[in-house]
Structure 1
Amino acid sequence: MGRIRAVAGVVVAVGVLGLAGCGASGKGHESSGAAKQDSGETAAQPQAPAVGKPAGTAGQGNSAGATGSQGGDDPTITRAIVKTGSLTVEGDDVSAMRQKAVTAVAGLNGQVASEDTGSDPDGNITQSNLVLKIPTKSFETAIQQLSELGKRLQIHQDSEDVTEQVVDVASRIQSQRASLERMRVLMTKANTIGDIVSVESELTRREADLEALLAKQKNLALQTDLATLTLTLTEKGKPAVKTEPKKATGFLAGLKGGWHAFTAVFSALATALGALLPFLILLAIIVLPLWRFRHKLRRQPAGQQSPASQ
């Protein structure tokens, strides 16, 4: 009996130790699971601002990718704005104002696109019209500096958002280039003359479309990069007068003028004919039956005398 009790005691002790080990192992797993969960939450915390980002910011990020910044991590986008404006300034010395204006524009990396300057019989400049091309980012600064040349009489500004056009043209250019690559692959696989001619014709057409899109993209870039400002400098006390452009001369100018005169005369004749047509129709309806009836009366006596003479 004593041995049996001893063996039973040993078994009970081993069972207790086993249960304790399982409990410790379970606690260890729970601790490691909790640690993993904590680490997962800690790793996910830096991404929380991206999930909670405003919808407008996310939309800007998509637009930035569409504009050609593919592969960029910058979520912002620069809007494509075309700015135009006009400014009228008067002062005592128009010549000095003009020189200061040209200097100020050159300091802003701008340029004078066109100029129309008028003077009095003595040769003194009385008015100057300048069309200025100024970097868009310096447009407001240019207006402020040019307004300080004298007394500002008139100012007008206009802005047009062409971001959608820029994105659309960039996307179409990318698609057109991919299409050209596919056509070049087909060109290498063409065997018959008919296939070669057909592929070459389509390839030429698509290349022309791509060149047109590239030209449009360049034009949009110029419009968005450089704002247009029309500056009118006038002498103090005299109203600003818009000078008319000089009339062109030469053979082509004469041909163009003659064509305009011909079309004007033809248009006038067509208008007059259209105005008289209803009256002519009415006159024909009235006069034609009368003319036929009169002609019939003249021939009737001769017809009556012929039986008597017989």
Structure 2
Amino acid sequence: MVRHILISLVLLVFAITGCNKDEGYNYSEYKEYESANDYALSIPATSIPPPPPPKIYSDGSIKRKIIKTGQIEIESNDVSEDYNELKILLKNTSAYIESEDQYRSDQEISYTIKIRVPSENYDTLFNSMVKGADRLIRKQSNIEDVTEQYYDLKTRIKNQKALEERYLQILKNASKVSDILEIESKLTEVRSEIETLEGKFKYLSKQISFSSITLLMVEELSYNHIPEKNTGFGEKLLGSFDNGWSIFLSFVVGVFRFWPFWIILIISFILFKRYRKRRKNGLSKA
């Protein structure tokens, strides 16, 4: 009987010791971890999945977002005149020139113009430019559907701003320095992501609102004979005569430029000859 009592006491001691080891924390620490601040910080921002993008229904409940781009290449009889007519078209369609480049050679004059036009006026301007061309060389028009990308960016920005607001609320209730620093670090990351997404969204919105048309106008020039650039044998021979005559004229001008020295040289020569003649006569008399 005593033996059974001792065994029961030993088992009871081991059971109590095992329970203490399994707990490993006190109740106050557990409650502190379960507080709003620490529990919120234990959930990383990246673990919060964004909601799926909105569905695009065929009934048009969500407006499609498209980007229109066009290229037109024409041959012009007078580039300057066509350029002035283009400005009138741009004014009538609320369009503007984003960039332009002019190139001129001996054979042609070309204008490369990039135009921005409100999307609703794209077709009007594009067709007017094609109809008004003297000779159409090439035309191309593209439509890109970016509806899913547009609404995806919009949703991601909304989610990031909601996450930013959540961190701000947690920051108000935070008391530990380590928690405050961690929350501020997360806020910096979220705000940086918001700026990046908003930049992409603004660029995409501009592409949607204002379509682009690239216009190339080319005017062929009449052929002009330029000896310096058309160097055949006959032209080289004629050029050599011309160069020889120029050298001769330069020589004559150079000779007359030193006329005082020539006068001194001639007088010296005359005096020298007289001196030699007198000396020769004197020797013959002796």
TM range (shorter): 0.5 to 0.7
Are residue 110 (structure 1) and residue 70 (structure 2) matched?
no
Q: Which residue of 1 aligns with 2:173?
A: 189
Question: What is the CA deviation profile of residues 242-274 of structure 1, one whole-angstrom value per residue up to 9, with x for unaligned ones?
Answer: xxxxxxxxxxxxxxxxxxxxxxxxxxxxxxxxx
SS at match of 2:211: strand
Give the counterpart letter for 1:159 in structure 2: I
Question: Which runs of structure 2 are paired with 1:182-261 in the superposition (5 Å)?
Answer: 182-236=166-220
Question: Which runs of structure 2 are paired with 1:89-128 in the superposition (5 Å)?
Answer: 89-120=74-105, 126-128=109-111
Q: Which residue of 2 aligns with 1:304?
A: none
Question: What is the CA deviation profile of residues 68-124 of structure 1, one whole-angstrom value per residue up to 9, with x for unaligned ones?
Answer: xxxxxx963321111111101112111111121122123211111110112357xx9
In 2, are the aligned partners of 1:117 and 1:125 still within 8 Å (CA)?
A: no
Give the counterpart letter for 1:83 in structure 2: K
Q: Which residue of 2 aligns with 1:139?
A: 122
Within 2, Cα distance between the matches of 1:169 and 1:163? 10
Q: How far 1:145 moved relative to its partner?
A: 1.1
Between 224-233 and 97-106, report the one with greater CA deviation. 97-106
| Structure 1 stretches of 4+ moved >4 Å | none
Gaps of 5+ in 1: 1-60, 65-73, 239-310
SS at match of 2:166: helix
Structure number with bigger Rg: 2
In 2, are the aligned partners of 1:83 and 1:136 still within 8 Å (CA)?
A: yes
Are residue 77 (structure 1) and residue 65 (structure 2) matched?
no
In 1, are the aligned partners of 2:103 and 2:111 still within 8 Å (CA)?
A: yes
Q: How far 1:193 moved relative to its partner?
A: 0.9
In 1, are the aligned partners of 2:116 and 2:213 still within 8 Å (CA)?
A: yes
Question: Which runs of structure 2 are paired with 1:36-75 in the superposition (5 Å)?
Answer: 63=56
SS at match of 2:126: helix
Within 2, Cα distance between the matches of 1:200 and 1:227? 41
Q: Which has the higher contact order (CA 8 A, sep 6+)?
A: 2
Are residue 179 (structure 1) and residue 163 (structure 2) matched?
yes
Within 2, Cα distance between the matches of 1:171 and 1:149? 44
SS at match of 1:145: helix
In 2, are the aligned partners of 1:132 and 1:230 still within 8 Å (CA)?
A: yes
Question: What is the CA deviation profile of residues 189-208 of structure 1, one whole-angstrom value per residue up to 9, with x for unaligned ones?
Answer: 11011111000000111011
In 1, are the aligned partners of 2:109 and 2:221 still within 8 Å (CA)?
A: no
RMSD, matched Cα: 2.4
In 2, are the aligned partners of 1:91 and 1:234 still within 8 Å (CA)?
A: yes
Q: How far 1:180 moved relative to its partner?
A: 0.7
Q: Which residue of 2 aligns with 1:250?
A: none
Are residue 130 (structure 1) and residue 113 (structure 2) matched?
yes
In 1, are the aligned partners of 2:108 and 2:220 still within 8 Å (CA)?
A: no
TM-score under structure 2 length normalisation? 0.54
Within 2, Cα distance between the matches of 1:76 and 1:90? 44
In 1, are the aligned partners of 2:65 and 2:145 still within 8 Å (CA)?
A: yes
Provide the identity percentage.
27
In 2, are the aligned partners of 1:89 and 1:154 still within 8 Å (CA)?
A: yes
Q: How far 1:125 moved relative to its partner?
A: 7.9
SS at match of 2:133: coil
Within 1, Cα distance between the matches of 2:162 and 2:125? 42
Question: What is the CA deviation profile of residues 137-157 of structure 1, one whole-angstrom value per residue up to 9, with x for unaligned ones?
Answer: 211111111111322110011
